Amino acid sequence: MTANDCDLISEAVFENIDLKKQIFFKLDRVAKQGAILASNTSVFDIDEIAATTKRPKDVIGPHFFSPAYVMKLHEIVRVAETTDDVAATAM
């Protein structure tokens, strides 16, 4: 399977804004149109990361609270341009 086959791609690298932006820049070029691009960042502005793509409407920031098996809370951080259907799919 390649990124071109995926409907949702989740980036989960350590908290380094430059690395995250580089990954999203590359994902924008290889992911199929309509694929949701997700970042697990908890400290950086998700809009800044989304701005490295040509599809900020498809970018979200999902967060599972720790520990996930106890804290049954899943937060979806929307980019200013995230569409309702992308947010609903993430939920």
User: Whose CA is closest to 9, among 45, 48, 47, 62?
Assistant: 62
Q: What is the pLDDT of residues 29-88, one digit of tens each?
A: 999 999 999 999 888 999 999 999 999 999 999 987 888 788 888 889 999 999 999 999
Question: What sections of the chain are H helices per DSSP?
Answer: 17-30, 46-50, 84-90
Average pLDDT over residues 16-40: 96
SS3 72: coil
Architecture of domain 3-90: 3-Layer(aba) Sandwich (3.40)
Q: Which is the catalytic residue, given 15, 48, 75, 81? A: 75
**Residue 15: DSSP 8-state:** S
Backbone angles phi, psi at 10, to 5 degrees: -115, 120
Instruction: Report whether 23 contacts 37 (CB < 8 A).
Output: no
Q: Is the pTM of this model over 0.85?
A: yes
Q: Domain map of the chain by residue range? A: 3-90
Does 15 qualify as catalytic in the annotation? no
